[in-house]
């Protein structure tokens, strides 16, 4: 196992150090410039659209609203990466890793906008609802089915299996630390609950996510705000520590700054998934009048995940005086920090948060796999085998060693992101034109812009926007 872990670690370092970080930063800046800083200009509009998508009128029977699609993607984003992953980042990379995590979110939200807008443009009808994502825009937009199949295989392994093993691993570790519950027994319970939800289809997943995500995220933020307010005198020092550590030129000369940046970017991407190609699978399911609407909503998801929820964990840990000397890692450190701040109930609170956050991630991750299995093979028997395999990996992750699980997650995440970033770099022009079309209609006083594929020069093989279900060439 140690030999396998070392091999995975070396592959992981090569992918991230030499390829992915450069692609994420360069394309993030490129998309930011080409969209004229869309993630900042339309910040207020994002909230308006989210409220519009959460209205009763938006929730039509058999269809998934923009708010529900946002919740599915947020369910996948908001999980162990926000609690255990941030604690790992602080320990391994130092406080400065948080700064680089913030930076990749600010830049990456433009990538999130582009990939989700493309997912909406190239979505396909699936009964009363829709499905889509990178595999679909690779096939229809680039005419490269092999690329879509490769991505589908990677995301199915990554999210359906590896990431779900990570989520289950953190749930059982948290409950073992808090209550001494046997990890295998708890794993059986989680696997059973997972089966109950995923065999119910996309609408059940949307409904579960719509309930868990907003309530639990709000509760976690309130607890973090309480801790920050009660430690208000220390907050300036913590913020100063993050920035000074991130821009420490002494560490640059010693060669340690690169590792800090790497850890911050990796944990940031694992958490917010911007550019990775996962969130577009949820974005494509939404019933909206214009692709840009869901692109903006999904860009907001990057901010909510990293700048709010991940920052909550970072401040909880950094306001704990013993974070640098503690022997705990991952979820154990977050539990230790919260216990310091609010007493023994902190251990229990984090365990419950992890249970619900990570479980919502499991069902969200499963949906990404389902959408891509349907792209490759839409037979019911194949889907049944996939669902059973997901349940098995949840059980496996419940008792697996944490290092090998996290390292495998990083490898598959890196490979996925590389393929998706190539695709959105090639197709991004259609997202830019769609944004201009949306802006033009809004400036003309149209409250609810309508998307017409014929208004986008060069756009072909689009079926989801045709009322007659025929491909518009």
What's the total number of domains in the chain? 1
460 falls within a domain: no
Say which range, 26-35, 129-138, 411-420, 431-440, has the weakest mean pLDDT.
411-420
CATH number of domain containing 249: 1.20.1740.10
Alpha-carbon Rg for the chain, nearest whole angstrom, is 21
Is residue 467 pLDDT above 80, yes or no? no
CA dist 421 and 276 (Å) reads 7
pLDDT of residue 420: 93
For 62-128, where are the E strands, in sequence order? 124-126
Is residue 26 pLDDT above 50, yes or no? yes
Residue with tokens 């070396």: 10
pLDDT of residue 252: 47
How does DSSP classify residue 130? Answer: E
pLDDT of residue 255: 44
- Does residue 286 sit in helix, strand or coil? strand
Greatest mean pLDDT among 59-63, 149-153, 162-166, 310-314: 149-153
Is residue 131 pLDDT above 90, yes or no? no
CB atoms within 10 A of CB 45: 17
Say which range, 1-10, 184-193, 232-241, has the weakest mean pLDDT.
1-10
pLDDT of residue 175: 80
CA dist 470 and 473 (Å) reads 9
468 falls within a domain: no
CA dist 256 and 347 (Å) reads 33
Mean pLDDT across the chain: 80
**What's the pLDDT tens digit per position in 95-130?**
888 888 888 888 888 999 999 999 999 998 877 778
Cβ neighbours of residue 377 closer than 8 Å, sequence gap 6 or more: none
- Residue 405: band (very low, low, confident or very high) from pLDDT cuts 50, 70, 90: low
Nearest to 431 by CA among 12, 8, 32: 32
pTM summary value: 0.82
**What's the pLDDT tens digit per position in 324-366?**
777 776 667 887 888 888 888 877 777 777 777 778 778 878 8
CA dist 432 and 24 (Å) reads 18
- φ, ψ of residue 288 to 5 degrees: the values are -135, 165
- Residue 4: band (very low, low, confident or very high) from pLDDT cuts 50, 70, 90: low
462 falls within a domain: no
pLDDT of residue 78: 65
**What's the pLDDT tens digit per position in 248-291?**
655 444 445 556 666 666 666 666 777 788 888 888 888 888 99
Give the relative orientation of helices 21-34 and 257-272 as an angle to the nearest 10 degrees. 60
- Residue 427: band (very low, low, confident or very high) from pLDDT cuts 50, 70, 90: very high
282 falls within a domain: yes
How many CA atoms, within 13 angstroms, populate the side-chain half-sphere of residue 322?
14
Cα dihedral across residues 357, 363, 369, 372: positive or negative: negative
Percent of the chain with pLDDT over 90: 18
How does DSSP classify residue 378? Answer: -
Q: What is the 3-class SS of 395-428, one letter each residue? A: HHHHHCCHHHHHHHHHHHHHHHHHHHHHHHHHHH
The answer to whether 209 and 360 are in contact (CB under 8 A) is: yes
Show the tokens assigned to 149. Answer: 């199949």
**What's the pLDDT tens digit per position in 198-210?**
776 555 566 666 6
Show the tokens assigned to 192. Answer: 């059973």
338 falls within a domain: yes
463 falls within a domain: no
pLDDT of residue 31: 94
How many CA atoms, within 13 angstroms, populate the side-chain half-sphere of residue 95?
20
Nearest to 42 by CA among 95, 93, 113: 113
Parent domain of 420: 2-455
Say which range, 23-37, 163-177, 183-197, has the weakest mean pLDDT.
163-177
CA dist 277 and 119 (Å) reads 9
Give the relative orientation of helices 21-34 and 96-121 as an angle to the nearest 10 degrees. 60
Residue with tokens 């214009």: 290
**What's the pLDDT tens digit per position in 166-192?**
888 878 877 887 778 888 888 898 888
464 falls within a domain: no
The answer to whether 331 and 83 are in contact (CB under 8 A) is: yes
Burial pattern 212-222, b for ≥16 Cβ within 10 A else e, equals bbeebbeebee
- Residue 67: band (very low, low, confident or very high) from pLDDT cuts 50, 70, 90: confident
471 falls within a domain: no
pLDDT of residue 253: 44
pLDDT of residue 470: 44
């Amino acid at each position: 196992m140690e030999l396998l872990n070392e091999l995975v670690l070396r592959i992981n370092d090569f992918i991230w150090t030499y390829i992915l970080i450069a692609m994420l930063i360069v394309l993030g800046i490129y998309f930011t410039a080409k969209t004229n800083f869309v993630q900042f200009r339309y910040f207020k509009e994002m909230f308006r659209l989210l409220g519009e998508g959460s209205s009763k009128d938006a929730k039509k029977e058999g269809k998934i609203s923009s708010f529900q699609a946002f919740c599915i993607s947020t369910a996948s984003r908001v999980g162990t990466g926000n609690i255990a992953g941030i604690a790992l980042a602080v320990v391994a990379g130092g406080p400065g890793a948080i700064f680089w995590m913030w930076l990749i979110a600010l830049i990456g939200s433009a990538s999130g906008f582009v990939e989700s807008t493309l997912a909406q443009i190239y979505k396909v009808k699936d009964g009363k609802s829709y499905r889509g994502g990178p595999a679909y825009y690779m096939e229809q937009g680039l005419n490269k089915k092999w690329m879509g199949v490769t991505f589908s295989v990677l995301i199915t392994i990554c999210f359906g299996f590896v990431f779900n093993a990570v989520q289950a691993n953190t749930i059982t570790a948290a409950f073992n630390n808090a209550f001494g519950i046997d990890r295998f027994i708890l794993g059986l319970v989680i696997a059973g609950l997972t089966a109950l939800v995923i065999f119910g289809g996309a609408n059940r997943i949307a409904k579960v996510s719509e309930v868990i995500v907003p309530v639990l995220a709000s509760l976690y933020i309130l607890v973090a705000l309480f801790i920050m307010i009660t430690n208000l005198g220390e907050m300036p020092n913590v913020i100063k520590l993050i920035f000074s550590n991130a821009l420490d030129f002494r560490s640059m000369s010693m060669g340690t700054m690169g590792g800090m940046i790497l850890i911050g970017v990796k944990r940031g991407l694992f958490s917010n998934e911007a550019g990775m190609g996962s969130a577009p699978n949820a974005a494509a399911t939404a019933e909206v009048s214009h692709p840009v609407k869901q692109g903006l909503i999904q860009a907001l998801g990057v901010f909510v995940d990293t700048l709010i929820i991940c920052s909550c964990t970072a401040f909880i840990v950094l306001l704990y005086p013993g974070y640098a000397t503690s022997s705990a890692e991952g979820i154990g450190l977050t539990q230790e920090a919260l216990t310091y701040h609010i007493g023994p109930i902190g251990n229990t609170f984090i365990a419950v948060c992890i249970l619900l956050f990570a479980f919502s991630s499991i069902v969200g991750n499963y949906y990404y796999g389902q959408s891509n299995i349907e792209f490759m093979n839409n037979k019911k028997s194949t889907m049944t085998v996939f669902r059973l395999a997901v349940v098995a990996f949840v059980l496996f992750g419940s008792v697996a060693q944490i290092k090998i699980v996290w390292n495998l997650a990083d490898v598959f995440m890196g490979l996925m992101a590389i393929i998706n970033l190539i695709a959105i770099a090639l197709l991004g022009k259609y997202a830019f034109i769609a944004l201009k079309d949306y802006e033009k209609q809004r400036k003309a006083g149209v409250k609810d812009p309508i998307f017409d594929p014929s208004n986008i020069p060069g756009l072909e093989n689009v079926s989801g926007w045709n009322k007659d279900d025929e491909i518009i060439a």
